[in-house]
Amino acid sequence: MASHIHPTDRPTKPGHLEKATLEGKNKVMGFWLFLGAETVLFACLFGTYLALRNSTMGGPTTQELYDLKLVGLATFFLLTSSLTSVLAMNAMNRLNVRAMQFWLGVTVLLGLAFLILEIYEFVHYVHEGHTFTSSAFGSSFYALVGTHGAHVTFGICWIIGLMIQTARRGLTYEMAPKLFLSSLYWHFIDVVWVFIFTLVYLLGKVG
């Protein structure tokens, strides 16, 4: 059943390295399940936000608050980072470690750019009087968008950790599934952001 590949072996043929070992297959399967659970988690936060987004209690409303230019730029950074993450996985499966490290680096930088914009946005909102404790709208907004931001932060730390490991150990059968999972996670964060952009920002402007 188990393949006779040792985890520290370096693959010599390109292909789907993440599923070459049983451990890898298990990890990919388990991680998809985890993403299923994460989907439900975000669905609950979305539901809460949509129910409470008009309870501004005299504070600024969604129309007054959101600035689509800033959010649009953040969206651009995050969605592009999804592309660079694909390029990194593509490089991995072609066994091109240097290209993979480069694209992972770009992914991290784009993620950081997104995060900086988001922090700037939050600081701006707080000055406008839209805080975590100011109203139910504020609480549910920061709960949803903040949870997403926390996920981005975790993803950045995770990918940096894996880049260090790859630099030390090279691309092994142990590393391939780890890298693949971080990329799955990164895509998931992007997909969630697409929904946040639509249901929070666009709907907040026009809905």
Partner 1 sequence: MGTLLILLVLTLFLAAILTGGYNKEFLLRARQTKVWDWLTTVDHKKIGIMYFLSGFFFLLIGGLEAIFMRLQLAVPNNDLFTGDIFNQLLTMHGTTMIFLAAMPMIFGLINVIMPLQIGARDVAFPFLNSLGFWLFFWGGILLNLSWFFGGAPNAGWTSYTSLALNSYSPGLGVDYYVLGLQITGIGSLMSGINFIATIINMRTPGMTFLRMPMFTWTSFVTSALLVFAMPPLTVALLLLMFDRVFGAAIFDHAMGGSSVIWQHLFWIFGHPEVYIVILPAFGIMSEIISTFSKKRLFGYTSMVFATVLIGFLGFMVWVHHMFTVGLGPMSNSIFAVATMAIAVPTGIKVFNWLFTMWGGEIHFKTPMLWAVGFVPTFVIGGMTGVMLSVPPADYQYQDSYFVVAHFHYVLVGGTAFALFAGAYYWWPKMFGKMLSEKLGKWHFWLFFIGFHMTFFPQHFLGLFGMPRRVFTYQANHGLELLNLISSIGVIGMTLGTIFFMVAVVQAARSKELAPADPWDGRTLEWSIPSPVPEYNFAQLPLVRGADAFWLEKQAGNKEMTPAEPLGSIHMPSGSYIPMLMSLGLFVAGYGFVVKSWIIGAIGIAFTFIMMYIRSFEQDFGYHIEPEEINGSAKAKEVKA
φ, ψ at 66 (rounded to 5°): -70, 140
Which pair of tokens denotes residue 21? Answer: 């070992």
DSSP 95: T
Site membership for partner 1, residue 194 (CB under 8 A): no
φ, ψ at 15 (rounded to 5°): 145, -165
For residue 94, give the 3-state DSSP assignment: coil
Site membership for partner 1, residue 202 (CB under 8 A): no
Least distance in angstroms from the C-beta of 147 to partner 1: 8
Nearer to partner 1, 53 or 88 (CB): 53
Task: In whole angstroms, give the CA distance from residue 174 to residue 180.
Answer: 11
Which pair of tokens denotes residue 206? Answer: 């026009």
Task: In whole angstroms, give the CA distance from residue 9 to residue 21.
Answer: 11
DSSP 68: H
Site membership for partner 1, residue 104 (CB under 8 A): no
**What binding mask, one character per residue, do residues 108-137 give for partner 1 by CB under 8 A, x or -?**
------------------------xxxxxx
Nearer to partner 1, 19 or 187 (CB): 19
Site membership for partner 1, residue 48 (CB under 8 A): yes
Cβ–Cβ under 8 Å, residues 118 and 145: yes
Question: Of 16, 22, 90, 170, which lies in the binding site for partner 1, with binding defined by CB under 8 A?
Answer: 22
Nearer to partner 1, 127 or 168 (CB): 168
Site membership for partner 1, residue 60 (CB under 8 A): no
Nearer to partner 1, 3 or 90 (CB): 3
Nearer to partner 1, 161 or 207 (CB): 161
Closest CA to 91 of 171, 19, 202, 190: 171
Cβ–Cβ under 8 Å, residues 204 and 141: no
Site membership for partner 1, residue 41 (CB under 8 A): yes
Cβ–Cβ under 8 Å, residues 173 and 24: yes
Nearer to partner 1, 25 or 205 (CB): 25
| Residue ranges binding partner 1 (CB under 8 A) | 1-2, 6-8, 22, 25-26, 29-30, 33-34, 36-38, 40-41, 44-45, 47-48, 51-52, 55-57, 132-140, 142-143, 161-162, 165, 169, 174, 178
